[in-house]
């Protein structure tokens, strides 16, 4: 008999708690062991009930979700899934800085969002989290520069890039655990980073702008949503919208492609990386970070086939070793690095320098 996932539901709205309970228990794989009306109750119930997963609202009386997440992660760590409205998307990703694993839209019965919520709940409940000291959140300008890159498993060092690498771009694929990884990576890049950075992060509809705004507070580089027809600017970070697929044209402008009902991932990492391989050839660097599934592996292979460098986040630093594992197994990855070494590798590659 399969053990059901024990869930604590936290929301100040009785209606929202009832809805989440109904969605979870109708699935058959979850057992709602408790409900909390605010963060203070949630902190106490996490200690008393020891759930496998906490679903957390943010805007609550007595103690809000952000403070509750930090209290929980510094006392008795448990996987936390933020269940939020699109209007609060930026705060939802601020919750990731406090220790939440992922963010999902509040579901309605019988919708695609309901299935996405259940899938995220299953996935997040299995993530290994650890109790940590209270984080000191520094403004971007106060953080140190990127640490030296070091190898995490594949070839021991990055090759010296060819002259054709200049005037290139970096294309990044990420999914579950990606917002945390992107926050670290972008925060470690210097303000004079010379090439555009394109990011496809799997995300619920409407949440990408909030994530972009949050990442912009953590990076010295400008971070914005990628717009149809926009020319790429060096040193700018472009986030793919979730409602369309972001690609790059041969003329090195951004282009949107419509989603279809058959599309499994949104936005598609493969489409972004494959188009970047065509647009930039050997001057493209592809990076695949933490995440579930296989999206991005084909795109990374296309970049490598075009002569570009390819990097995967290593297993030890990944929340979910899925997309990056598939890319490694398929031979699409030239270099496996810990998360803290990727920004340093990017700086060296952009500058035409070898990596130690």
Would you please indicate which residues are annotated as catalytic (active-site) residues?
175, 202, 295
Residue in the block written with tokens 């009930």: 49
User: Is the Cα dihedral 320, 322, 328, 329 positive or negative?
Assistant: positive
Do the beta carbons of residue 146 and residue 189 sit within 8 Å?
yes
The C-alpha atoms of residue 126 and residue 128 are separated, in whole angstroms, by 6
Name beta bridge partners: 198.
171, 238
Task: Kindly report each contact of residues 121-126 with a partner whose C-beta sits within 8 Å and lies 24 or more positions away, as own/partner.
Answer: 121/5, 121/7, 121/24, 121/30, 121/53, 121/55, 121/81, 122/5, 122/29, 123/176, 123/292, 123/320, 124/53, 124/79, 124/80, 124/81, 124/176, 125/5, 125/7, 125/52, 125/53, 125/79, 126/79
């Amino acid at each position: 008999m399969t053990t059901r996932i024990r869930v604590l539901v936290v929301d100040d709205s009785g209606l929202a708690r009832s809805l989440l309970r109904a969605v979870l228990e109708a699935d058959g794989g979850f057992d709602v062991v408790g409900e909390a009306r605010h963060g203070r109750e949630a902190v106490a119930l996490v200690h008393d009930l020891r759930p496998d997963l906490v679903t957390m609202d943010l805007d609550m009386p007595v103690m809000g979700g952000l403070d509750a997440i930090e209290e929980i992660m510094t006392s008795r760590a448990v996987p936390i899934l933020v269940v939020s409205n699109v209007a609060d998307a930026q705060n939802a990703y601020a919750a990731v800085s406090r220790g939440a694993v992922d963010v999902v839209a509040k579901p309605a019965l019988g919708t695609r969002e309901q299935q996405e919520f259940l899938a995220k709940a299953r996935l997040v409940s299995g993530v290994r989290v650890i109790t940590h000291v209270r984080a000191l959140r520094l403004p971007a300008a106060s953080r140190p520069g990127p640490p030296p890159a070091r190898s995490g498993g594949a070839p021991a060092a990055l090759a010296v890039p060819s002259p054709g690498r200049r005037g290139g771009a970096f294309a990044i694929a990420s999914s579950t655990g990606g917002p945390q990884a992107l926050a670290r990576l972008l925060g470690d890049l210097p303000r004079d980073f010379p090439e555009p950075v394109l990011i496809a992060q799997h995300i619920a509809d409407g949440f990408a702008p909030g994530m972009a705004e949050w990442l912009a507070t953590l990076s010295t580089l400008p971070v914005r949503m990628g717009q149809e027809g926009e020319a790429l600017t060096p040193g700018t970070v472009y986030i793919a919208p979730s409602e369309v697929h972001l690609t790059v044209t041969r003329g090195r402008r951004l282009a949107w492609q419509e989603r279809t009902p058959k599309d499994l991932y949104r936005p598609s990492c493969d489409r972004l990386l494959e188009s970047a391989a065509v647009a930039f050839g050997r001057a493209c660097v592809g990076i695949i970070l933490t995440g579930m599934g296989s999206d991005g592996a084909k795109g990374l292979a296309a970049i490598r086939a075009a002569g570009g460098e390819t990097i995967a986040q290593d297993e030890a630093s990944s929340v979910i070793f899925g997309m990056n594992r598939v890319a490694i197994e398929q031979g699409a990855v030239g270099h496996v690095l810990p998360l803290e070494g990727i920004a340093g590798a990017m700086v060296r590659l952009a500058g035409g320098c070898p990596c130690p």
